[in-house]
């Protein structure tokens, strides 16, 4: 068995008012952090639901930078597989990918534009900023 330590834990985190209660109960913390942070960022930028409803949602997209995510659901699937493949969650691979953070935001807000994730170790944030800039420039 491998051991691990938490180097930083967020203890006072709440999704109230940002994420649907049903999703808050089911989703992993990394997904809830992504959704809540993104929705707060939109709100802080003055992009309300009313503003988005006036726009062409095919021009709204989500770009995520993440090293990993969904490891709990992936681990749960492996544990279930040890018992029987019938016990395994059919959505485990979908929820274990880093792109699920972008997908969940796009689904939640009805965005139909470009949607993907970038995972390049220490350069992830730089690549995300560069790609976002290129999407804005190219329209």
Residue 64: name the closest of 33, 26, 24 by CA.
33
Closest CA to 107 of 66, 43, 61: 61
Give per-residue pLDDT as tens, 77-120: 889 989 998 888 777 777 777 888 888 889 989 999 999 999 88
CB 59 within 8 A of CB 112: no
- Full-model pTM: 0.76
24 vs 11: CA distance, rounded Å: 16
Q: What is the pLDDT of residues 41-50, one digit of tens each?
A: 999 999 988 9
User: In sequence order, what DSSP letters do the residues of 5-32 get, joined into one string?
Assistant: --S----S---TTTS-HHHHHHS-HHHH
């Amino acid at each position: 068995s491998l051991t691990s330590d938490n180097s930083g834990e967020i203890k006072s985190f709440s999704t109230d008012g940002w994420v649907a209660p049903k999703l808050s109960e089911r989703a992993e913390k990394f997904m809830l952090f992504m959704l809540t942070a993104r929705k707060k960022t939109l709100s802080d930028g003055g992009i309300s639901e009313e503003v988005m409803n006036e726009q062409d949602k095919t021009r709204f997209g989500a770009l995520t930078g993440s090293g990993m995510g969904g490891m709990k659901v992936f681990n749960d699937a492996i544990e279930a597989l040890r018992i029987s493949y019938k016990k395994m969650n059919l959505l485990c691979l979908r929820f274990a990918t880093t792109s699920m953070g972008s997908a969940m935001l796009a689904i939640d807000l009805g965005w139909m534009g470009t949607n993907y994730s970038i995972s390049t170790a220490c350069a992830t944030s730089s690549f995300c900023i560069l790609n976002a800039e290129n999407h804005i420039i190219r329209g």
